[in-house]
Structure 1
Amino acid sequence: MADTKREIERKYESDESGLPDLTGAGTVADVLDQGLVELDATYYDTADERLAAASLTLRRRTGGSDDGWHLKFPVAPGVRDEIRAPLSDTVPDELAALVRSRVRGAELVPVVRLRSARDVCHLVDADGTLLAEASVDTVTAERLNRAGGTTRWTEIEVELADDADPALLDKVDKRLRKAGVRPSASPSKLARALEQTGGTRSRTRPRKPAPPVTAGDHVLAYLREQRDEILDRDPAVRRDIPDSVHRMRVATRRMRSTFRTFGTVLDPAVTTPVAAELKWLAGELGADRDQEVLAERLAKALDELPSELVLGPVPQRVASWADARHGSTRGHLIAILDSARHQALLDTLDALLADPPLRGKAARKPAKVLAEAVRKDLAKVTRLITHALELPPGRERDIALHEARKKAKRTRYAAEAAIPALGAPAASLAKSMKSLTSLLGDHQDSVMARHALREFAAVAHAAGESAFTYGLLYGREERRAAAAEAELPGLWAKINSGASV
């Protein structure tokens, strides 16, 4: 069974002088020698090193206290999440699943073997509490998957202990620099090994894309960001990390909206079928996300009620419903991510961005082309808001406001894509559309909450329980929706007065 550890560390170049004295660095009261450890790690990747290109590392390591398989995901500079699985001869299924969006149909093969002689010290405070582990690693790297060879180097690694203050690393860093030790030029041992043994420029340091110049450049840059977000969120969704489903779903929506808005830049005959597949994926993701949002809303509403107004097993019913729905939708969602259809969609996105179906306006200067497309989207929002406000409160207005919200999101995403070209006006419009969609989103959530509360009340009544609390929450949701509708005209007038792209 895999488990997760947050790894916070810094790496430094080292010569033969070893580790400088770190006593007195921050709260370090003593440096305790732990002896020499021999580590032997084989790193796995595809033949074209897709994991390394995404700054992911997958290894099988023996020696030390954590024999087994380790999969590392970057979180921030110097911070990684390490997923661990027991030692076995083949890549564990649970780790293979977490890199499936990158690997797809390719085989994971050994690419590098690293053998390290690790001289370990523990940095402890005055009470003997472990603060960090510092080591001097003498590393021998051997390339396994292509003609390359071997290389050897020595480095210093300082890893923060669990629950220790990250500020300690700054104190240690200052002490090391004062002793002439400099940070490593490579982010990881694997990256350094690939660079020094590959014989060609390493994919672990991909060239930064050229700054966008044309309208097509700007649109494609935005689409690449969303494609990368979909790939990055895939393992997070599998790990059930909060907000990961939402972020993945938003990326699919941004791509779809971009295809629709910028049809003069990218050929709709090519992008429309891709947008249909993205819509399918968003729908599958939404089954889990919509339920998650609604469950959180109902739980918060219950927490805000005085206890004397909660009659019957209302919290238990809501919690059981949320847990059951999440469990069933989660299993389905993992199956979707593993499906051939989803893997084919990822391949299609890669192919489209590698060879984009550009139209004539793609080669033009971005300001006019992008501004024209954004203005068209904004005009559609204007018509929908105007129509919704003309309707009396009720189901038809609810539907009209929901449609306006969807078009406002599209306008927001179009404005975001145009920010590098149009600057402040596009940024201001994106911010305004975010405020609008937030208000309309709260209104739509109220609509959905009232629907769920009616169902809860019916089940409670059939079971002989009081439906009072559900009715009370229903009335509060009605007032929230009415307040949102009352606020809308003023917000819309303010947006109209400042909207200019």
Structure 2
Amino acid sequence: MTPGGAGVRRPDHPTRTTAPAHAPGITGVSAGTVLGPYLRTQAADFLRSLRLHRENTAPTDAGSRAADQAATALRRSSRRIGSALRTFRTALDPLWAEQLRTELTWLSGTLAREHAYADRLARLLEALHGLSGDPVLPAARTSGDSADKSRPVLGVGAARAGALLERQLTLARTRAHSAALQALGSARFHAVADAVALLASEVPLAPAATGPARELLGEPADRAEQRLLGAVAALPPDEAAEPYNEARDAPWHQARLLLRLHRYAHEVVHGAPDPVLAAPVHALDLHRDAAEAAGAAATAARTPRIAPATAYALGVLHADQRHEVEAARAVFRASWPYATTGAARP
């Protein structure tokens, strides 16, 4: 890396508390010695979470808090296993790794939808509550009589907009809950659970896994990091920001996925996540949540035959969430611990 280029730590951020990928911790040991225990641990967590989910899931409603927590843990284990299978596939049986990774992606996505709809509704209702009591609207910053006239209109529309969003997103959540229960009872899921149960006892390693971990694990982890750094460097700069251009969201969502792969690869190689990435991870999660909430507000605004006041409130809500998208991007840039090229620096 050249000084000041992508991948160089910014001076206002702490240096890595763990050693680089080719550290002595994975020197002199085989890839299987490192990767095997990690995958077995994640598989055991998956099975434990599955048992708790079955014990606490209600068939007729959205389930209990314990069931929600178990589903979150189940998704977390699924993501970690799937990411390891993707990043370190050269150390594993390739056909088995690809098949299980695909199925875990399906499972994690299916379980995530119910939680996502619930969080989206809570976020939008909270934003509506704040906007209806805000004397200055984000979509039309005015003063005097015009602002005073806007407030009661938003107040009436906000209540109707909230009711509409609650109907739409509660229905979507109920359907997602039913789909998750159906998936967990399917033959497809039982095949996944059986595969993970086998993984908890024996990892299907490739013959090459007897080779050095610094090559078979360290080098793929480095490549995952370089893909992330390249994606972040290619993000549109601040001066090109277009708050209402949803097409600009895609590179940020891709950076979030690559950041996840990098974090999990770091866990495998070093035994723990890189602590300086916690803030950027949180910022990109907020970015995703705000973008999806804005999309839900826009979808609700396209509902046929809604009152003008309702449509107006939904438009203000959409604008508010798009500004939250921009705010999350600013937080990410400020917290990103590497110097980047092509992105504005704080």
TM-score calculated relative to the size of structure 1: 0.51
Task: Indicate the residue corresponding to 2:32 in structure 1.
Answer: 216
Unaligned residue ranges in structure 2 (runs of 5+): 1-28, 134-151, 341-346
Alpha carbons 2:39, 2:203 under 8 Å: kept? no
CA distance 1:223–1:454, shift in 2 (3 Å):
same
Alpha carbons 2:128, 2:162 under 8 Å: kept? yes
Work out which of the residue numbers 320, 323, 344 in structure 2 matches 1:479.
323
- Cα deviation, 1:123-150, whole Å, max 9, x if unaligned, reads xxxxxxxxxxxxxxxxxxxxxxxxxxxx
Task: Indicate the residue corresponding to 1:450 in structure 2.
Answer: 294
- Once the 2 structures are TM-superposed, how far is the Cα of residue 361 of structure 1 from its aligned partner? 4.8
Task: Indicate the residue corresponding to 1:281 in structure 2.
Answer: 107
- Cα deviation, 1:359-394, whole Å, max 9, x if unaligned, reads 355234545543322211110001111122357543
Which residue identity is paired with 1:487? V
Work out which of the residue numbers 171, 175, 185 in structure 2 matches 1:338.
185
Task: Indicate the residue corresponding to 2:78 in structure 1.
Answer: 252
- Looking at structure 2, the residues matched to 396 and 318 of structure 1 have their Cα atoms a distance apart, in angstroms, of 23
Work out which of the residue numbers 274, 278, 284 in structure 2 matches 1:440.
284
- Looking at structure 2, the residues matched to 461 and 311 of structure 1 have their Cα atoms a distance apart, in angstroms, of 16
Q: Where does 1:88-99 land on structure 2 (aligned, <5 Å)?
A: none
- Looking at structure 1, the residues matched to 335 and 123 of structure 2 have their Cα atoms a distance apart, in angstroms, of 24
- Looking at structure 2, the residues matched to 278 and 306 of structure 1 have their Cα atoms a distance apart, in angstroms, of 42
What SS is found at the alignment partner of 1:389? Answer: coil
Task: Indicate the residue corresponding to 1:316 in structure 2.
Answer: 163
Matched, 1:372 2:253: no
- Looking at structure 2, the residues matched to 311 and 242 of structure 1 have their Cα atoms a distance apart, in angstroms, of 34
Task: Indicate the residue corresponding to 2:257 in structure 1.
Answer: 406
What SS is found at the alignment partner of 2:131? Answer: coil
- Looking at structure 1, the residues matched to 247 and 301 of structure 2 have their Cα atoms a distance apart, in angstroms, of 24
Q: Where does 1:165-244 land on structure 2 (aligned, <5 Å)?
A: 214-234=30-50, 235-236=52-53, 238-239=57-58, 240=63, 241-244=67-70
Q: Which has the higher helix share?
A: 2
Task: Indicate the residue corresponding to 2:19 in structure 1.
Answer: none
Matched, 1:387 2:230: no
CA distance 1:246–1:303, shift in 2 (3 Å):
farther
Aligned length: 277
- Once the 2 structures are TM-superposed, how far is the Cα of residue 411 of structure 1 from its aligned partner? 0.7
CA distance 1:488–1:320, shift in 2 (3 Å):
same
Matched, 1:261 2:261: no
CA distance 1:462–1:231, shift in 2 (3 Å):
same
Which residue identity is paired with 1:419? H
What is the RMSD computed on CA atoms of the aligned residues? 2.6
Q: Where does 1:72-91 land on structure 2 (aligned, <5 Å)?
A: none
- Once the 2 structures are TM-superposed, how far is the Cα of residue 219 of structure 1 from its aligned partner? 1.7
Alpha carbons 1:230, 1:252 under 8 Å: kept? yes
- Once the 2 structures are TM-superposed, how far is the Cα of residue 249 of structure 1 from its aligned partner? 1.8
Alpha carbons 2:47, 2:197 under 8 Å: kept? no
Which residue identity is paired with 1:405? R
Q: Which has the higher strand share?
A: 1
Alpha carbons 1:460, 1:467 under 8 Å: kept? no
Alpha carbons 1:374, 1:414 under 8 Å: kept? yes
- Looking at structure 2, the residues matched to 388 and 401 of structure 1 have their Cα atoms a distance apart, in angstroms, of 7
- Looking at structure 2, the residues matched to 319 and 326 of structure 1 have their Cα atoms a distance apart, in angstroms, of 10
- Once the 2 structures are TM-superposed, how far is the Cα of residue 485 of structure 1 from its aligned partner? 2.4
Which residue identity is paired with 1:310? G
- Looking at structure 2, the residues matched to 299 and 311 of structure 1 have their Cα atoms a distance apart, in angstroms, of 14
Residue identity (%): 25
Task: Indicate the residue corresponding to 1:87 in structure 2.
Answer: none
Task: Indicate the residue corresponding to 1:202 in structure 2.
Answer: none
Matched, 1:462 2:279: no
- Cα deviation, 1:169-188, whole Å, max 9, x if unaligned, reads xxxxxxxxxxxxxxxxxxxx
CA distance 1:433–1:266, shift in 2 (3 Å):
farther
Alpha carbons 2:44, 2:200 under 8 Å: kept? no
Task: Indicate the residue corresponding to 2:194 in structure 1.
Answer: 347
- Looking at structure 2, the residues matched to 243 and 314 of structure 1 have their Cα atoms a distance apart, in angstroms, of 30
- Cα deviation, 1:65-95, whole Å, max 9, x if unaligned, reads xxxxxxxxxxxxxxxxxxxxxxxxxxxxxxx
Which residue identity is paired with 2:236? L
- Looking at structure 2, the residues matched to 290 and 455 of structure 1 have their Cα atoms a distance apart, in angstroms, of 16
